[in-house]
Structure 1
Amino acid sequence: MEFYKKINENQPIQYLIGIGTIILVSLFSYLFIDIIGYQVVALILLLAVSILAMFFEILPIVTVAVLSALIWNFFFIQPQYTFKISTPEDALFFLMYFMIAVMNAVFTTKIRKAEAATRKRKERDKTLELYNTMLNSLSHELKTPIAAIIGSVDTLKETEKLSEQNKNDLYTEIEIAGNRLNRQVKNLLNMSRLESDSIHLQLNWYDINELIYGVIQLNKPDSAEHQIIFIPDDDLPLFQLDATLVEQILHNILHNALQYTPPGTTIEFKVSHTSGECIIDILDNGKGFPKNKIDRVFEKFYRLPNSATGGTGLGLSIAQGFARAHNGSIQLKNRSSGGAHFTVRIPAAMTDPKNYQNE
């Protein structure tokens, strides 16, 4: 792809490739002229010009089209090795070839430019749509906690006879709103890191049991109405990975489950491994995802229709981006018994904990 981009931006290279292609095609045709005839040679040369026109700019293609017509006249039309044409039929045939070759070159390049302009317009429209979605999400997601903080602070400042319980409730509300703001700011910063390709893995040896336990503890305030199950496996090896990114992956998936599954839902973590891969399964017994929407779940700013308020649609997209930064992936499917099943696969070196001091 990078090679094609360089060629597309360099007209001298286009001239060299185009002229070289026509010369090679002409030489090949000349070797078999007695079998295929000069009329078929014209079609072969037209095909070569048409293919080149799909990739090159208009001036190199017009040059190649004119060159192909001259080569065809000089080497293939009787009398050979001259630019003379002996019969009116061949003269008409040459004129038609010349016009078709040039027109084909011009129109093909114009169509290609029009298609490129259409693609850019669609990409621009999609970008604007994404930013509009982001602004709409943020306008609600940021305004709500900010209003809660301002309201709580005003109440604390203006009311002198608040009970300790009321004060503690207001402090708790401020803390929840602050954490919500912090989460959204972190999501935006993480998405910015992914889009600017500025993520550099900080690999070290980690106990995946401790990472998962830490993520569960971090989400404990939001899990009062859910049951989270995780049974640590002491026989697991240590994995070499970026703990910060992996924690964020698991946090985003768990937070998504806590936010969008009904109260009473059970969320379970399971860990396994292959010879070169750490595999973490996160399962719940909620409602699952609509089958026709599963492919869109990891898109930026995408939120399922009629989903509960809150969130910007960045969490799962960031999780997938961090997994890919490890050359891994996240797959999502619905469980046959109901609920969602996320599988996080992270390629990682591993070692027995007993050998850690020697690593």
Structure 2
Amino acid sequence: MPLTIYKRSNPYLISGLLIVAATLISQLSIHHIGYQGVALIYLLVVSISAMLFDIWPVLITALSSAVLLNFCFITPLYTFKIVSTEDVLMFFMYLILALVNAVLTYKIRDYNSKKRDEEEKTKTINLYNILLNSLSHELRTPIATIIGSIDTIQDQKAKLSETHKQELYDEISIAGSRLNRQVENLLNMSRLEAGILKPSFDWFDVNELIFNVLKQNQEHVANHQLVFTPQKNLDLVWTDGGFLETILQNLVYNALQHTPKQTTILIEARLKDQSLKISVSDNGNGFPKASIPVAFDKFYKLNNQATGGTGLGLSIAKGFTEALAGTISLENKKTGGALFNVCIPSKTLALKDFEHE
């Protein structure tokens, strides 16, 4: 059971139950282990409490175990008297060891917890520094393009030809789309981290969703070839169309941005075993073998990556896939290039049946 669950419970009650359990076990085995063995059992309980709870429940556990050791196991039994000098020494040695053990174990746990928190904080700061450095380029570039184009149109409106104006308008449109894509990625990542992703299911035509994604990426396809051959009579799929488009959008855009010119990007969709299976592959250079296990990590970018990006696209694709109870994987094809496989469990419905509903 995770430590957080114990922390939310009543630590005094749990510590008391541990002590009672240790006492009962010791009563049953006292003739075999003696009260010295009982002392070791109580020390174990104190150690367990120190690993789970704050210092006060642990100190109370240590003190109560010493009292029970004296009352129940050191002769004369069921009194607080200790006759033998050896037993007095044993009792006080146990009390000191129990208290020291409680404090040291708690301090070690507290130190390790603080160290983990510091490491996690440092890691988070480093990750967000990477994000901010990426955004300083990814957001500034389209904003500068938009501002520069608008300034040119305003300052030289009379001198610009219609062709030149259209070129500037096209640049504004492309920059706006790029800016919108980055903002969408940031919002999606915030939703993933907050754990508020709630799919809204309905019947969707997968072919249509894929065509929508291809249409959204037309401005980036100048030096690539996007290939998708829709399956005829493909059943409708019970899924969240927005989630599915986000997954495909990030996979396709990632391939367009990070593969050489003239690369062919192939999208395939099929239904098998009550699951929607979609693959996005290319005939580019593929991924370095060491990068494949971490390719879906947040903010991850290849060291030799020349293009921009925030390193969020694949992480978002993975998060949205898992929100649909699906899986996503990456491998390099034997013939060269990368292959992303998405598998999402889903109900299906034939289009003709849907039209009759």
After TM superposition, give the deviation of residue 210 of structure 1 in Å.
Answer: 1.3
Q: How does 1:99-138 map to 2 (within 5 A)?
A: 99-138=96-135
Match in the other structure for 1:37: 34
Q: Tell me the distance in 1 between the aligned counterparts of 2:189 and 2:262.
A: 31
Q: CA deviation at 1:162?
A: 2.7
Instruction: Check whether the contact 2:237–2:347 (CA below 8 A) recurs between aligned residues.
Output: yes
Q: How big is the alpha-carbon RMSD for the aligned residues of Structure 1 and Structure 2? A: 1.8
Moved segments of 4+, more than 6 Å: none
Task: Give the letter aligned to residue 356 of structure 1.
Answer: F
CA contact (8 A) 2:258 2:307 kept: no
Deviation at 1:225, TM superposition (A): 1.5
Q: How does 1:1-359 map to 2 (within 5 A)?
A: 4-5=3-4, 7-9=6-8, 13-159=10-156, 160-357=158-355
- CA distance in 2 between partners of 1:274 and 1:46 (Å): 58
Contact 2:233-2:351 within 8 A present in 1 as well: no
C-alpha separation between the residues in 1 aligned to 2:285 and 2:58? 58
Distance, in Å, in 2 between the alignment partners of 1:16 and 1:144 is 60
Identity of aligned residues (%): 50
State the distance in 1 between where 2:83 and 2:110 align: 40
Question: What is the deviation of 1:145?
Answer: 1.3
TM-superposed deviation, 1:301: 2.1
1:30-77: CA deviation from partner (whole Å, max 9, x where unpaired): 112112222112111111211121101111111111111111122222
CA shift, 1:103, in A, is 1.0
Paired letter, 1:158: D
Amino acid in the other structure paired with 1:27: L
Q: In the superposition, relative to structure 1, how do residues 92 and 274 fare at CA in structure 2: closer, same or farther (>3 Å)? A: farther
Q: 1:358 offset after TM fit, Å?
A: 5.0
**One-letter amino acid of the counterpart of residue 346, structure 1:** I
* Structure 2 counterpart of 1:104, one-letter code: N
User: Greater shift after overlay, 290-299 or 23-32?
Assistant: 290-299
Query: How big is the shift at 1:137?
Result: 0.9
SS for the counterpart of 2:278 is strand
SS of residue matched to 1:330: strand
Question: Residues 319-343 of structure 1: CA distance to partner in whole angstroms, max 9, x if unpaired?
Answer: 1111121122211122222211111
Q: Distance in 1 between matches of 2:335 and 2:323?
A: 32
Greater shift after overlay, 304-313 or 62-71?
Answer: 304-313
* Letter matched to residue 174 of structure 1: I
Partners in 1 of 2:206 and 2:8 — Cα distance?
48
Pairs aligned (count): 356
Taking the aligned partners of 1:134 and 1:103, their CA distance within structure 2 comes to 46
Distance in structure 2 (CA, Å) of the matches to 1:104 and 1:336? 58
Inter-partner Cα distance in structure 2 for 1:193 and 1:358: 37
Secondary structure, counterpart of 1:337 in structure 2: coil
1:181 & 1:9 partners in 2: Cα distance?
44
CA distance in 2, matches of 1:308, 1:182: 22
Amino acid at match of 2:58: I
Distance apart, 1:140 and its partner CA: 0.7
Give TM-score scaled by structure 2 length: 0.94
Alignment check: 8 A CA contact 2:257 2:307 kept: no
Q: Which amino acid aligns with 2:57?
A: P
Letter in 2 for 1:208: V
Give the partner amino acid of 2:236.
L
Say which SS state the counterpart of residue 272 (structure 1) adopts: strand
Contact 2:201 2:238 survives alignment (8 Å): yes
- Uncovered stretches (5+) of structure 1, i.e. residues with no partner: none
Q: Which runs of 5+ in 2 are unaligned?
A: none
SS in 1 for 2:171: helix
Conserved? CA contact 2:174–2:219, under 8 Å: no
Letter in 1 for 2:119: K
Aligned partners of 2:239, 2:348: CA distance in 1, in Å?
9
Contact 2:265/2:283 (CA < 8 Å) preserved in 1? yes
